[in-house]
Structure 1
Amino acid sequence: MNKKWWKEGVVYQIYPRSFKDSNGDGIGDIRGIIEKLDYIKNLGTNIIWLGPIYKSPNDDNGYDICDYRDIMNEFGTMADFDELLKEMHKRDIKLVMDLVVNHSSDEHKWFVESRKSKDNPYRDYYIWRKAKEGNPPNNWGSFFSGSVWKYDETTDEYFLHLFSKKQPDLNWENKKVRNEVYDMMKFWFDKGIDGFRMDVINLISKVPGLPDGTKGENDLYGNGFPLTANGPRVHEYLQEMNREVLSKYDIMTVGETPGVDPETAKLYVNEDRKELNMLFQFELMDIDSGNGKWDIRPWKLTTFKNIMYKWYEALKEQGWNSLFLNNHDQPRLVSRFGNDKEYRVESAKMLATFLHTWQGTPYIYQGEEIGMTNVQFDISDYKDIEIINMFKEKTEQGVPKEELMKSIYAKGRDNARTPIQWDASENAGFTTGAPWLRVNPNYKEINVESALKDKDSIFYYYQKLIKLRKEHEVIVYGDINMMLEEDEKIFAYTRKFENESLLVVLNFFDKEAAFTAPKKFDVNNAKLLISNYEIHELNNNFILRPYEARVYKI
């Protein structure tokens, strides 16, 4: 087993806009993060993944970058950033930044030049095509609704944008583009950052010729995803990036790779291939999706278990897993996989137990450690471009508003983006001004201040899980063996590494469930490492209470 700091660490993800506002403009900023570094240190996490803070017109909350070497005015200055990095390293916290290089902003100087004329030196930094019989060059639909093509009158051609119209895709076939990206990465590594989370990195190589995608009878657009995800040259590009940049620094890389299966994932993270350290796959995040993200279906625990074990088996000893149940693009874990009303605390602790006792690097999304929940706003209060575009498109197609709102309440990205609830004062202590996005109305009950005063809070449970991970190598490196694979209530497994063994038993639902330990495990003589209910006696047969979690050292 190849031991690495990024396998043993725990990552805390900061979405800067919603973390902490230091100057009253309603937008979280770098100085706000500096103020709260001791809070993150107290939790026990030792890596921060910081969402994009680069200069951006903010069409997609910073994922549309117009200057990769400067800081967004709303977030502060480069001097603020340098101080943040210094203060983090002083506390032994590493910094992983977002790398957004599938696309830039249309306000980036490269694109401003690119659209001027067909013979501009920057023309081939982006993907331009002529109209096809008076229509866009192909039939692909964008992730954010509408066509992936935007017509530009200046040169009478279309440019490709898989996401928003203000996010033109970079042309990775152009060696100059790749070199620009590698130089920019070195700029940040030489400043001292510790890694990159690479936004939709598996979309950088498109199928040559950009053919039409398959189109269902009722579809407005063709499916371009299979023609853009895991494209023909993506591994060549990542190996080049590794050779030119990544291999020269002791850093952590994690690729966001929608649409990968375990076999494809190995190509990205197998250590011998020299590409990335780990990736985010979204199979588990699609567990409740029917025909697309907004079509919500019930999920089964057996499916959940199968997905997790399949990925563990595939990457075991060949790569490494990222463990997450929510992030800035996903709804809150306790609302989606737990019970955010009657059993909010119990189910949040149970889900955390699962995340922190499986094999892989756990990612905690800001606010998760206090059990923040989804929101139900009026449509006019949402800010996310994906929600707004989807609502407009589906309303025009005649889909009833109630149905759309149900989907938005369950899956909308703004669920995760409401400001952190620091205390019970106005705007949850996030800002003295008007917050950029409404605060969740439950902030008076759910906030950091009250969590820190309550010794049984979700916060201290996370703190204990993170401490256990540092004390027991079995939690990081141990093999996993599944138990009760067909059980629809209980998720149970063992971990084994060298001479240490753990038994993890989790009740995923709000009904009691009976558990009997296999004969080879003597729970009577085991040590209970952590549980989310009080347990007064140890025995081999027990009833798990709603959302109960127990971890035994055997």
Structure 2
Amino acid sequence: MVNRSIQLILSILLISLVSCGGSKEKKVENHWPHAGITYEIFVQSFYDSNGDGIGDFNGVTKKLDHVKELGANAIWFMPVMESPSYHKYDVTNYKSVHPDYGTMDDFKSLIAEAHKKDIKIVIDLIINHTSNKHPWFLESQKSRDNPFRDYYVWAQKDTIADFINKKTITLDSDNIRQWHDPGFGEDYYYGFFYGGMPDLNFDNPKVREEIYEIGRFWLEEVGVDGFRLDAAKHIFPDDRPLDNHAFWKEFRDKMTAIKPDIYLVGEVYDKKEIVAPYLPGLPALFNFDFHYTMIESFKKEDGMLLARKQKEVLDFYKEITPDFIDATISSNHDQPRLLNSLDENPKKMKLATNILMTMPGAPYLYYGEEIGMLGKKPDENIREPFLWDMKANDKGRATWINPVYSIDETVTPLAIQKSMSTSYFNHYKEIIKLRNSNRALALGDLELYEGELPGPVMAFFRKHADQEVVVFHNLSDQTIVLDAPEEAGSLLYSYGNAKWEGGNVTLPAYSSLVLEY
């Protein structure tokens, strides 16, 4: 009887050891915000709890365990405030939630439940502009001496005649008109994105105070953990960058006075030289170069293209401030779904996820990518409903839109993927767990592999404290064999039948290998 007990104990101990080298399984850690993972949700399309066809707060609360199981540490919600549009980037009331999503009490309950599961909550804060139906704007239209007139940017038609029909196309807008005629008088108003979104006038101290009060409300009275700042580059026009930088420093000071550990991430669509000066005000910035360069790397089968670009960006940012958060993305609500961008090739998709999770940064994951959802422009079709189960059984699937790309015939729902060992979902879980349980992958510095490499191979080192790893990715459809680093000590991760043996690294098509020193 004693011998059997000893055998049972030994068996349990053996099961608790991982296969690589017999070492103890590493603890999964939460590295948010500097290197944690944030899950982006469009509430409208996530989970419908009351059967009205629209996703809601209670639906998200019901599915918090999905976010937790995936390994994400925070949720970024696309706009949740009152708005006349489906996307809600044109706010009509900054201190309320959209009734389609539920009540403020529902949202507070969601936050409380998320916090119990150690999930932080970040909301979209849209302060560059309001809706043209916002009470401030409706008042501002009434007369030139209305107290709210100076909340927006108004000008007489004859003073802006040369600009009315000027076409301005930027990385984040293909709008052809910035000055808009409200349909009466001789005055026009400025709206960078379109006429339904008039820009606020941040030269007006009253506007800035209004914004700081809105921030205080969501931090103190509602309890969110931070903000994603939409259109951060456009608070002032492009020819006033110093004013933009100064405003965001002031905004950060005001918000940290309310919540010292507030998380702020900014959307500044541009090259690194334009983006970096925003860091003192917005300590986290989205790395759009990461997304575009990764897609380009696959198209060109140039493995080191992204690694070199990332090293260049990180080194440049460090010259501005050593304390920054690189918010890396492989997709979001404005770009085609990742699978569409990668020729709907599942192997490329999984490899792209491996790249995102083995690179430095604080990765963002757009809802639905973990099940291989599809979507192309227009934007509505990049934001289609999440597929929880086959349609006949899916009581929580939103129906506010008739999906074009993500349907049962093209996307395997989550319920089925959970039982498939090779599914997108289980792949995401595995690679996220690897990242969250190896500090070198989450927190380590990036060093490029200096040896000669075949064109399609991406290779780099990640080093943190006493852990160092070397990472290999093959961005081609051909098998590639390399000399293995002599110092490598053990196999940490293999995907796509990649092997390390006999002094060689063998990388089949679209495979990954991580070796630990």
After TM superposition, is the score higher than 0.5?
yes
Corresponding residue to 1:447 among 405, 413, 419: 413
Q: Helix, strand or coil: the match of 1:321? A: strand
Moved over 6 A (4+): none
After the TM superposition, which residues 114-125 of structure 1 pair with which residues of structure 2 at under 5 Å, given as runs?
A: 114-125=140-151
Shift of 1:75: 1.2
User: In the aligned structure 1, how far is the partner of 2:452 from the partner of 2:130?
Assistant: 45
The equivalent of 2:475 in structure 1 is 508
Shift of 1:253: 0.9
Partner amino acid for 1:327? N
Q: Helix, strand or coil: the match of 1:418? A: coil
What is the TM-score when the length of structure 2 is the normalising length?
A: 0.85
Corresponding residue to 2:344 among 320, 340, 343: 340
Q: Helix, strand or coil: the match of 1:361? A: coil
| 1:349-377 Cα distance to aligned partner (Å, 9 max, x none) | 211111111111011111111222335xx
Q: Pick which of 191-200 and 19-28 moved more.
A: 19-28
User: In the aligned structure 1, how far is the partner of 2:443 from the partner of 2:516?
Assistant: 15
| 1:357-399 Cα distance to aligned partner (Å, 9 max, x none) | 1111011111111222335xxxxxxxxxxxxxxxxxxxxxxxx
User: In the aligned structure 1, how far is the partner of 2:425 from the partner of 2:490?
Assistant: 23
1:39 aligns with 2:57: no
The equivalent of 2:463 in structure 1 is 496
Q: Helix, strand or coil: the match of 2:177? A: coil
Shift of 1:513: 2.4
| 1:7-41 Cα distance to aligned partner (Å, 9 max, x none) | 14211110112111223332222122112111111
Corresponding residue to 1:234 among 221, 239, 244: 244
Partner amino acid for 2:43? P
How many residue pairs align between the two structures?
476
Aligned partners of 1:144 and 1:164 also within 8 Å: no
1:532 aligns with 2:495: yes
The equivalent of 2:508 in structure 1 is 545
User: In the aligned structure 1, how far is the partner of 2:291 from the partner of 2:503?
Assistant: 34
Shift of 1:415: 4.7
Shift of 1:4: 7.1
| 1:312-339 Cα distance to aligned partner (Å, 9 max, x none) | 2223435221111100111122332x45
What is the TM-score when the length of structure 1 is the normalising length?
A: 0.80
User: In the aligned structure 2, how far is the partner of 1:53 from the partner of 1:434?
Assistant: 16
| 1:393-448 Cα distance to aligned partner (Å, 9 max, x none) | xxxxxxxxxxxxxxx5xxx5345312112112249655375636446235565221
Partner amino acid for 1:254? V
Aligned partners of 2:54 and 2:398 also within 8 Å: no
| 1:498-549 Cα distance to aligned partner (Å, 9 max, x none) | 2211111101122222322244x33xxx322222234576343233111101
The equivalent of 2:427 in structure 1 is 461
Q: Helix, strand or coil: the match of 1:7? A: coil
Percent identity (aligned): 32
After the TM superposition, which residues 147-226 of structure 1 pair with which residues of structure 2 at under 5 Å, given as runs?
A: 147-190=177-220, 191-206=222-237, 226=238
The equivalent of 1:54 in structure 2 is 81
| 1:193/1:254 CA distance change after superposition, 3 Å | same
The equivalent of 2:383 in structure 1 is 417
The equivalent of 1:355 in structure 2 is 356
Shift of 1:144: 4.5
The equivalent of 1:280 in structure 2 is 286
Corresponding residue to 1:323 among 300, 324, 328: 328
Aligned partners of 2:46 and 2:397 also within 8 Å: no
Gapped runs of 5+ residues in structure 2? 1-29
Larger radius of gyration: 2
1:70 aligns with 2:74: no
The equivalent of 1:246 in structure 2 is 256
Gapped runs of 5+ residues in structure 1? 207-225, 291-296, 376-407
Q: Helix, strand or coil: the match of 1:197? A: strand
What CA RMSD, in Å, does the superposition of the two structures yield over aligned residues?
Answer: 2.7
Partner amino acid for 1:278? A
User: In the aligned structure 2, how far is the partner of 1:125 from the partner of 1:437?
Assistant: 39
Shift of 1:470: 3.0
Aligned partners of 1:128 and 1:159 also within 8 Å: yes
User: In the aligned structure 1, how far is the partner of 2:408 from the partner of 2:513?
Assistant: 29
Q: Helix, strand or coil: the match of 2:288? A: coil
| 1:433/1:314 CA distance change after superposition, 3 Å | closer
| 1:53/1:22 CA distance change after superposition, 3 Å | same
The equivalent of 1:392 in structure 2 is none
1:12 aligns with 2:39: yes
User: In the aligned structure 2, how far is the partner of 1:517 from the partner of 1:313?
Assistant: 28
Aligned partners of 2:389 and 2:415 also within 8 Å: yes
1:109 aligns with 2:135: yes
